[in-house]
Amino acid sequence: MPDPLQPVLGGDAPFDATADEIETRAELDVHLAKNTLAGLCVLGLRLDRDPPDLAAVDVRDTMFVGCHLAGPEVETDLILRGAHVVPPFDGRPYPTHPALLYTPEDLAAGFAEHGFAGMYDTAVYRHFVDHGGAVPDIREALAQRLHDAGIDNALGKALNAWAAVHGTGGAIGIMGGHAAARGSEPYRMVAALTRRLAAANRLIVTGGGPGVMEAANLGAYFASFDEAALGTAIDRLSVAPHFMDHEPYTAAALSVRAAHPLPALDVAGRLRHGGLALPTWLYGHEPANLFAGQIGKYFSNAVREDSILRLARGGIVFAPGWAGTVQEIFQAATKTFYATDGPSGAYVFLGVEHWSRLPVADLLGPLLARSPHGDQSDLIVITDSLDEAMAALSE
């Protein structure tokens, strides 16, 4: 099978979002032509393939993080000449320090040849479970932390790419039940809303799982398609309605993408068509969401949960959900109450019947009314209307 890490470890074109970091071989070649890498960070590159000649290159205070080098003698030479080398942890199916965010193609690599059990995302989850899950041994913990630090770094660069095109207006977070069936009313409603939001150049941010999260990324994927095309896609996905329908869902998702292909897009374009997903291998038993434009998949669930809420300052949509969604509501409320990350957008509760049976807004209102930054209870909107939700999220 093809190397599933190659897209993560760098494509064909230089990626120059940060002047002091080198994320691709093409970008490295630009610096090698100047005969110096002094003070730069080289991230996650396969320098054991067509090895570059580094013998005469200035490597003082250069950091090589998670790079595969041609041999121990190369590593020794670099260190002796003033470089710092953090080697990859061999024997793991994931990169020690990914330079770029994942794509659906990365996570699904291997599915065509080996099915769900043989795709990259599943292989990493199996490794995660086999090495202690949420309580790994020290070697695995260090490798996972380095991986997640790489994702943090790549996430910042991707968001900078988005801001350069669309500005720094707040992203829209989408929360809700992971078990919402494909084709159900909540699934269709969320997908329809996010298609409209993405078409209006709002960045959609989800937890990258199935259910409501998948619907949100799916809707954003169809930002440049009409509503009928989105409906056809949902019908196609409905053959695998439940979130544990791993094999049929993955096949259906890939067929939807093939039937509605996107043109070649830069990072900002991918974020508009699919949004951003921040999933975790802690919940790797759930199939990978294959509609997000960029995917920051973490081992640490705590880091990714905080990142989602920190980013979603332009408003949050809470579609029907239960314990996990309620937890997220009050995690978000804490940030809004204290203005931890600046002003907050609307809290849109989508589904009047559900939220009347689970009346968290009755507690949320008095809480936000007592914020030290002034009464913020007017942020709460409970509705079944997509137009009303769009209006609240556009303020």
Taking 50 as the threshold, does the pLDDT of residue 10 lie above it? no
113 and 12 in a single domain? The answer is no
Domain-located, residue 40: yes
* Mean pLDDT for the stretch of residues 106-125: 97
Pairing mode, strands 84-86 and 63-65: parallel
CB 253 within 8 A of CB 237: yes
Instruction: State the CB neighbour count (10 A cutoff) for residue 99.
Output: 27
38 and 180 in a single domain? The answer is no
45 and 137 in a single domain? The answer is no
Q: What is the DSSP string of 77-89?
A: HHHHTT-EEE---
150 and 238 in a single domain? The answer is yes
In 3D space, the residue among 214, 198, 153 whose CA is nearest the CA of residue 206 turns out to be 214
Handedness of CA 174, 175, 180, 184 (dihedral sign): negative
49 and 169 in a single domain? The answer is no
Distances (CA, A) of 273 to 251, 257, 281: 20, 12, 24
Taking 60 as the threshold, does the pLDDT of residue 274 lie above it? yes
Share of the chain above pLDDT 90, in %: 87
Domain-located, residue 94: no
44 and 109 in a single domain? The answer is no
Residues 6+ apart with CB under 8 A from 160: 17
Three-class DSSP category at 65:
strand
Half-sphere exposure of 298 (CA within 13 A, CB side): 23
Domain-located, residue 387: no
Residue 136: which CATH number? 3.40.50
Q: What is the pLDDT of residue 169?
A: 80
Domain boundary among 254, 285, 312: 312
- Please give the Cα distance from 29 to 361 (Å, whole number): 55
Burial of residue 372, with CB atoms counted within 10 A of its CB: 0-12 exposed, 13-18 middle, 19 or more buried: exposed
78 and 202 in a single domain? The answer is no
Residue 13 binned pLDDT confidence (cut-offs 50, 70, 90): very low
* Mean pLDDT for the stretch of residues 107-135: 97
In 3D space, the residue among 215, 182, 184, 216 whose CA is nearest the CA of residue 202 turns out to be 216
Total residues belonging to the chain: 395
* Mean pLDDT for the stretch of residues 259-263: 97
Q: What is the pLDDT of residue 16?
A: 57
Domain boundary among 312, 338, 366: 312
pTM of the model: 0.92
Q: What is the pLDDT of residue 9?
A: 35
Q: How many domains does the chain have?
A: 2
* Mean pLDDT for the stretch of residues 284-297: 95
- The secondary structure of residue 212, as a DSSP letter, is H
* Mean pLDDT for the stretch of residues 184-190: 97
- The single residue listed with the structure tokens 């896609």 is 233
CB 124 within 8 A of CB 94: yes
* Mean pLDDT for the stretch of residues 6-15: 41
248 and 157 in a single domain? The answer is yes
Domain-located, residue 372: no
126 and 193 in a single domain? The answer is yes
Domain boundary among 290, 312, 334: 312
CA 210 to chain centre: 13
* Mean pLDDT for the stretch of residues 198-222: 97
Pairing mode, strands 316-318 and 294-295: unpaired
Three-class DSSP category at 210:
coil
Tens digit of pLDDT for each residue in 143-171? 999 999 999 999 998 998 999 899 888 89
DSSP bridge partners of 317? 174, 348
Domain-located, residue 371: no
- Please give the Cα distance from 256 to 186 (Å, whole number): 20
Domain-located, residue 342: no
151 and 222 in a single domain? The answer is yes
Residue 189 binned pLDDT confidence (cut-offs 50, 70, 90): very high
In 3D space, the residue among 132, 175, 192 whose CA is nearest the CA of residue 320 turns out to be 175
51 and 192 in a single domain? The answer is no
23 and 123 in a single domain? The answer is no
Domain-located, residue 91: no
Domain-located, residue 338: no
Tens digit of pLDDT for each residue in 27-74? 899 999 999 999 999 998 999 999 999 999 999 999 999 999 999 999
What's the chain's average pLDDT? 93
CB 347 within 8 A of CB 316: yes
Q: What is the pLDDT of residue 372?
A: 97
**Domain range enclosing 79:** 6-86
